[in-house]
Amino acid sequence: MTLAACAEAAPRPRVGVAVTNPLTRHPLVTACAILSLDDYSDGRAMLGIGSGDSAMRTLGLDPADVQGTHGARRDRLRETVELVRAICAGEAVTLGGKTFQLERPARRIPIYIAATGPKMLELAGEIADGVIIQVGLHRACIEQALGHIRKGATKAGRNADSIEIVHSTFTSVADDRRLAIDRARPLAAWFYAVAPDLLELAGVEIGQRHPDRPVFPDISHPADHEQAMAEARRYVSDEAVEKFCLVGSAEECVRQIRELADRGMHQIFFRHYLTYALPLELIDVAGRAIIPRFR
């Protein structure tokens, strides 16, 4: 519903989710939804999909409880992408012993896979139209991620240059740099918990990986952002925030985005520091002071 409203209000941009997953949404529901959006937006829809780890953690559940090991979840993601593609292409598919077939759409809907770890990045390079990478801003982390994507593309006999690279960027824009860093600190905590190897690759020293006191539902998706900032201050360094989040004034963010473009990023996905509030402040500053600098 939100995407349909966006498509109605803005007739030019592409519209899509970043991201759905195969754990909390059935592939047939996902396929029908994205086809409806594509039809309503006159062919501007794209589908972003991930393994579902973050969604399950936000619900207070362990993804492993639902879909076993990381390898099993990757297999399920691969199967889901193939299934959604087949449904959207108008092919007959069998689910639960029943055969479904939808009307063939006018165009192929691009599917982007969200990835951080090496195996998921390789899978994305193998089967996705685009990859939404979440590996921070440090050069070594980005180069490593691109290397895994190229490895997957090579395995599948694909041209890696044909794959769209979207940089998923935790973002906090403010003229007061200290405020911008502090707001983004709970987001940088995500890397401590999920991808400490990337912190080490970027030269960030890790003292601890999790907050001393639990934050509901987790520190990088907090219901109480003030509490999350207080907990994150205990162990997330300024260095980590600056190397893994887009922080600072609009001018500083423009400079960092140009550097990301030089490193092979095709798109930037701004992720607001607040999870449960509309990112109106970020939309405003991006539209007024950042995006126009790239026209």
The tens digit of pLDDT for each residue in 75-105 reads: 989 999 999 999 999 899 988 888 988 877 7
Low-confidence residues in the chain, pLDDT < 50: 65-66
Q: Collect all residues with Cβ–Cβ distance below 8 Å to 282 and sequence separation of at least 6.
A: 171, 173, 270, 272
Give residue 264's region: left, alpha or beta (phi > 0; psi -120 to 50).
left
Backbone dihedral angles phi then psi of residue 205, each to the nearest 5 degrees = -80, 135
CA distance 110 to 46: 5
20-38: string of b/e by CB count within 10 Å (b at 16+)?
bbbbebebbebbbbbbebb
Residue pair 31/90 in contact (Cβ under 8 Å)? The answer is: no
User: How high is the pLDDT of residue 69?
Assistant: 59
User: How high is the pLDDT of residue 155?
Assistant: 97
CA distance 102 to 36: 12
The identity of residue 179, as a single letter, is: L
Kindly report whether the global pTM for this prediction surpasses the value 0.85.
yes
* Partners of residue 94 on adjacent β-strands: 99
Q: Collect all residues with Cβ–Cβ distance below 8 Å to 163 and sequence separation of at least 6.
A: 124, 125, 128, 129, 130, 131, 149, 153
Classify burial at 233, counting beta carbons within 10 Å of its beta carbon; exposed 0-12, middle 13-18, buried 19 or more: middle
First to last CA, the chain: 29
The pair of structure tokens assigned to 132 is 């939404």
User: How high is the pLDDT of residue 51?
Assistant: 85
**Mean pLDDT taken over the chain:** 93
Q: What percent of the chain has pLDDT over 90?
A: 82
CA distance 155 to 144: 17
Residue pair 215/144 in contact (Cβ under 8 Å)? The answer is: no
Q: Collect all residues with Cβ–Cβ distance below 8 Å to 8 and sequence separation of at least 6.
A: 40
